[in-house]
Amino acid sequence: GLGTLTRTLSEQLGNKLLCSSPAETIIRDAAKFIVRAKGREWTAQSVICAAPPPAATTLLSGLLPGAVNIFDSIRMSPVALVHWSQKATDFPPGFGFLMPRLYPLRVLGTLFPSELFPNRVPEGFTLLASFYGGMTDPKALEMSDAELAGILLREHREIFQRKMEPPPMLKILRYPGAIPQLLPDHPEKIAALLCQAKNIPGLFLAGNYLTGVGLEHAVTSGYHCAKACLKFLAEPA
């Protein structure tokens, strides 16, 4: 899973990686950037900001005041992610399903991680991951764990047409701003944002809000950003 990627990256970075120290602001002093976090400061020739739009607004408001309105205009979809299991293995094979909005069900879709990847569950169990919320149902995040679990079981009994027991394992994660919404005017917004960023030598932006929300878009964004940053650092001062 994705944990393997982040764990490998952290192992390679070693003590260069600093966790639990969220950046609070980024300013520029002459040709250097100053990053401030929890009373500490770091200086750098270049900075890559890979934060989502709400956090980028706070971090870059001093550097890119004209970009604040752009970041604030990128709407973020709220999502409740429910990891749950069933003591059964006869679920339909495959990736999972997306639920069209024409049906009177609140679930956005459900994935079958144990069908996709090995060693996800003990023998005899199935692991599922269901999504609730979205732009059309933001109040799903306000439900208690018990309420969300109740809706989850009721809807999946209907979807699968089978008896389902309370999940032996249930973990709910709530993300108020999970997925950036790339509306029709999004390319113009990003073009204006990147144009402003180019006026700050050494500042680079990365993230899935730039060109697409998929993992491949996020990774590609990181590669492009790293390449541009390395090119900048290699240039004579």
* 57 membership: H or E segment, kind and range: helix 53-60
Per-residue CA distances from 225 to 37, 186, 201 (Å): 23, 19, 13
Q: What angle do CA 112, 211, 50 make, to 5 degrees?
A: 85
The letter for the amino acid at 33 is F
For the segment 81-103, the average pLDDT, to the nearest whole number, is 94
pLDDT digits (tens, 9 = 90+) for 111-136: 999 998 888 899 999 999 999 999 99
- Average pLDDT taken over every residue of the chain: 93
Query: What is residue 1's predicted lDDT score, i.e. its pLDDT?
Result: 67
Per-residue CA distances from 96 to 18, 45, 149, 167, 212 (Å): 36, 45, 19, 18, 22
What is the value of pTM for the model shown? 0.85
pLDDT digits (tens, 9 = 90+) for 41-88: 999 999 999 999 999 999 999 999 999 999 999 999 999 999 999 999
Q: Taking 80 as the threshold, does the pLDDT of residue 94 lie above it?
A: yes
Query: What is residue 112's predicted lDDT score, i.e. its pLDDT?
Result: 96
Query: What is residue 171's predicted lDDT score, i.e. its pLDDT?
Result: 97
pLDDT digits (tens, 9 = 90+) for 136-156: 999 999 999 999 999 999 999
